[in-house]
Amino acid sequence: MTSDPAPAPRGRPRKLTVDAVIDAAVAVIAEEGFAALSTRSLARRLDVRSSTLYSYFDSIEEIADAAVSRMLDGIHVPRLADVDDPAGALVALFVDLRELLIVHPDAIPARPESRPWAQMVGMVNALLAQFLRLGLTVERAAACYEALIGVTMASAATARRTQQTPASEIELLLDGLDPADTDTLLRLREWAGEPDDERFRHTIRELVGWMLPTLHARAGD
């Protein structure tokens, strides 16, 4: 049976700050996953009593929210009207989201009414507003977002499975095709040979070209 670390000085230890707790939470999540995040794991890392953490946060859920919020702080919705390559900026946004979901698959969705939830809602609203300014209907704008985020989440899930299993899902797919269809096999194998992040970039750019041709045209100017 493990015990708490040695008692810290009474009151808030001078070496401990809110940022230090958040940093430790992000580190635990990065190294061991969300399931490992607890007051005990944070206390061990910070060399304080578990109870000390409640001087800074009300609950472990609040600490988790702060950690996810820190992760989301580095992801920004581009102002598509102000960049030279709006299609490329949109691709970069979903690449950043995909990287977050590969490393921290439980980061999204966040708890309703938490700060990360508000950040995600703000990002979605900012993106939809720009789609509407491009002349899309509400229905089309929502469909574009759902398609882009859906592909992003699916690609992140596939990347995680590929890291965990030796067998390539793509190779299994190719093995099931008709060997007589040589041209298709060659093209698919060439596509499968690309790094998965490059395949993802190409897929998102293709989706942008189909759904938001105005952006795609501006990118080629």
pLDDT tens column, 103-120: 787 777 667 778 888 888
- Higher per-residue confidence, 70 vs 187: 70
C-alpha–C-alpha distance, residues 37 and 119, integer Å = 21
pLDDT tens column, 45-103: 999 999 999 999 999 999 999 998 998 888 999 998 888 899 999 999 999 999 888 87
Domains and CATH numbers, the chain: 18-71 (1.10.10.60), 75-219 (1.10.357.10)
Least confident of 31-35, 153-157, 168-172: 168-172
pLDDT tens column, 133-163: 888 899 999 999 999 999 999 888 887 776 5
Which residues does 213 contact at the CB level (< 8 Å), separation at least 6? none
The stretch 113-134 carries a mean pLDDT of: 90
pTM, 2 dp: 0.71
**Residue of 101, 86, 121 whose CA lies nearest to 29:** 101
Average pLDDT, the chain: 80
Q: Which segments of the chain does DSSP mark as H helices, in order?
A: 18-32, 39-46, 60-73, 86-103, 115-133, 138-164, 169-175, 182-192, 196-211, 213-219
**Residue of 22, 31, 100 whose CA lies nearest to 63:** 22
Residue tagged 């809602």 (tokens): 121
With a cut of 50, say whether residue 9 has pLDDT above it. Answer: no
Helices 39-46 and 18-32 pack at an angle, to 10 degrees, of 110
**Whole-number pLDDT of residue 184:** 62
**Whole-number pLDDT of residue 117:** 87
- For 146, counting Cβ atoms within 10 Å of its Cβ (0-12 exposed, 13-18 middle, 19+ buried), the class is exposed
